[in-house]
Amino acid sequence: MNKQILSIIKKYEGKKGSAIPILQDVQGIAGYISKDSIRFISEHTGIPSAELYGIVTFYSMFRLEPQGRHLIRICKGTACHVSGADNLGSMLKTILKLKGDQTTTEDGRFTLIEVACLGCCSLAPVIMVNEDTYGKLSSDKLEKILNKYE
């Protein structure tokens, strides 16, 4: 993996604002950004680990842990919150059999994460599965939606 990361770093060598593209490429290979990868990128680019970690935790497109085959983003923004996002989130966790802080299903099919806003507040409450947006959701629609994803 480190050899691949070195090759990515070389690709962006001398370019301003390379942190995000480097992280995107690393995630593209590994599926997530490990803490070891952050340390390695920092050591070989001079970008402080704290800055890289800040980027990875700020942008919802980055993940610090491996994820399932399908990523479910549930919006917990204000419009979705007042439209029942908490209840929807509980239903999703029940359907996916996620316990406690667990975010990825046992079979590796889904990862569920919460995001601040998906940018389509008029459709609240909203989830995204991969790049597909589902709005004006109620709990009875969830299983039908999830069944579309193998």
Is residue 75 at the binding interface for ligand FES, with CB under 6 A as the rule? yes
Of 9-17, 48-56, 60-68, 77-85, which part binds ligand FES (CB under 6 A)?
A: 77-85
Distance of CA 119 to the CA centre of its chain: 15
The beta-strand segments (E) located in 14-149 are: 70-75, 110-115, 127-129, 132-134
Contact region for ligand FES (CB under 6 A) — 40-48, 62-70, 86-94, 121-129?
121-129
77 lies in the binding site for ligand FES (CB under 6 A): yes
Cβ-proximal residue to ligand FES, closest one? 77
Say which amino acid occupies 138. Answer: S
Contacts with 39 (C-beta within 8 Å, 6 or more apart), sequence order: 49
Whether 136 contacts 89, CB under 8 Å: no
Stretch that binds ligand FES, among 17-25, 96-104, 119-127, 139-147 (CB under 6 A): 119-127
